[in-house]
């Protein structure tokens, strides 16, 4: 995992390897640190992700839930096909697509990935 805070309005957390029960705690803690800084955007970049279990999935939901409380936009970037399938099958895709307030739009980035207000 690596964190890029070069832009104070955007925190980018790059996740690589396995995101599972034995490895999820550091990501959970880093998400909490990033959200405390109140960036406008939190990006979870999964380009290097190789495996995820239910604990890893719960970390994504945690990022959404905690961001939702602060009005921080959550964006999942470079989502591998296997993670996309898991997000769809578990209903997390729908959860992440929920807007912050009534009628708030969900937009897309230039690369076609949805920007989800969390």
Kindly report the three-state secondary structure assignment for every residue of 102-114: CCCCCEECCCCCE
Work out the pLDDT band at 109, boundaries 50, 70, 90. low
How high is the pLDDT of residue 118?
44
Range of the domain at 92: 2-117
Q: Read off the CATH number of the domain in which 60 is found.
A: 3.30.750.24
| Percent above pLDDT 90 for the chain | 70
Average pLDDT estimate for 56-76: 94
Work out the pLDDT band at 8, boundaries 50, 70, 90. confident
Query: Helix 24-36 vs helix 54-70: angle between axes, to the nearest 10 degrees?
Result: 10
Most confident of 54-63, 67-76, 108-117: 54-63
Domain count, the chain: 1
Q: At 38, is the secondary structure helix, strand, or coil? A: coil
Which residue in this structure is represented by tokens 């470079």? Answer: 78
Q: Is 95 left (phi over 0), alpha (psi -120 to 50) or beta?
A: alpha
Count of all residues that appear for the chain in the document: 118
How high is the pLDDT of residue 117?
43
Mean pLDDT, all residues of the chain: 86
Cβ atoms of 46 and 40 closer than 8 Å: no
Work out the pLDDT band at 43, boundaries 50, 70, 90. very high
How high is the pLDDT of residue 6?
81
Cβ atoms of 63 and 31 closer than 8 Å: yes
pTM score of the predicted model: 0.82
């Amino acid at each position: 995992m690596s964190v890029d805070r070069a832009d104070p309005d955007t925190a980018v957390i790059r996740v690589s390897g396995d995101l599972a029960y034995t490895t999820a705690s550091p990501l959970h803690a880093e998400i909490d640190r990033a959200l405390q800084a109140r960036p406008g955007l939190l990006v979870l970049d999964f380009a290097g992700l190789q495996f995820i279990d239910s604990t890893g999935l719960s970390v994504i939901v945690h990022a959404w839930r905690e961001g939702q409380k602060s009005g921080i936009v959550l964006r999942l970037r470079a989502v591998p096909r296997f993670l996309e399938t898991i997000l769809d099958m578990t209903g997390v895709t729908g959860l992440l697509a929920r807007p912050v307030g009534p009628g708030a739009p969900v937009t897309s980035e230039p690369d076609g990935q949805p920007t989800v207000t969390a």
